Amino acid sequence: MAEEQTSGRGRLERNWVSPRGAGLTLSVLLRPPPARSTWGWLPLLAGLATLDAVRELSGLQAALKWPNDLLLGPGQAKAAGILAESGDGAVVLGVGVNISTTSEELPAGATSLLVEGALVAREALLVGLLLALESLYAGWTAADGDAEASGVLAAYGRGCATLGRAVTVHLPQGDALQGIAEAIDASGGLQVRTADGTLTTVVAADVVHVRPRE
């Protein structure tokens, strides 16, 4: 756990800055026994654990944006992000949550627990997040990485604000996909239905919510 971050790295090489004492920034090292093909669920588990802890301790309206953002408040501004990297049989989950960051310290489109009106201690959120992650990881591991059998697939679907939304999906190769986000599949990928009826599954992308959920 870091006291501050001045050059933290998020997805797509974006910076994640956290002033001293204002956020929860931590890394968790895992050596997952299930097959590597199931590891795409690990950042989603971390997102779900973050969602559960924030909801329990803050009482705020919170949801997930696939694949790795925590959104807060009726405006669904980003308050947390997750990055997973793997190598040599291990996975490192990096989690950053804006806790007491002020509006002046935040980039455009971001928020914090404090800005949304919740006072939460970093230590309490750390413990709550790790306990939630431990429980989810244990269940997922016991099911040999089967997200449906472990209940993780259903839980993530309930907490995901992306589903049912019109989205623009920016793919790593530079293309963009527009459609309705219909479901999360068994591998953790997002299934998007385009205007011509084609159902496409994306496993790595940056998603923009086009309009409010109806």
Contact criterion met (CB below 8 Å) for 179 and 200: yes
HEC string for 113-154: CCCCCCCCCHHHHHHHHHHHHHHHHHHHHHCCCCCCCCCHHH
The lowest-confidence range among 8-17, 31-40, 145-154, 182-191 is 8-17
State residue 13's pLDDT score: 56
Residue in the structure block whose two tokens are 């309206």: 61
**pLDDT(214) > 50:** no
Around Cβ 5, how many Cβ atoms within 10 Å?
18
183 burial (CB, 10 Å; 0-12 / 13-18 / 19+) is: middle
Question: What is the largest distance, in Å, between two alpha-carbon atoms of the chain?
Answer: 49
State residue 19's pLDDT score: 75
H or E element in which residue 24 lies:
strand 23-30
State residue 59's pLDDT score: 95
Report residue 136 as tokens: 């989810």
Q: Residue 195 carries which DSSP code? A: T
Over residues 37-55, the mean pLDDT reads 96
pTM to 2 decimal places: 0.91
Q: Which domains does the chain have, with CATH numbers?
A: 5-159 (3.30.930.10), 166-209 (2.30.30.100)
State residue 213's pLDDT score: 47
Max mean pLDDT among 17-31, 97-111, 133-147 falls in 133-147
Q: What is the DSSP string of 26-68?
A: EEEEE---S-GGGGGGHHHHHHHHHHHHHHHHH---EEEETTT
Over residues 91-114, the mean pLDDT reads 94
The lowest-confidence range among 5-14, 175-184, 193-202 is 5-14
What's the pLDDT tens digit per position in 58-93? 999 999 999 889 999 999 999 999 999 999 999 999
What's the pLDDT tens digit per position in 139-195? 999 999 999 999 999 999 999 999 999 999 998 888 899 999 999 999 999 999 999
H or E element in which residue 156 lies:
helix 152-159
The lowest-confidence range among 107-111, 147-151, 152-156, 208-212 is 208-212
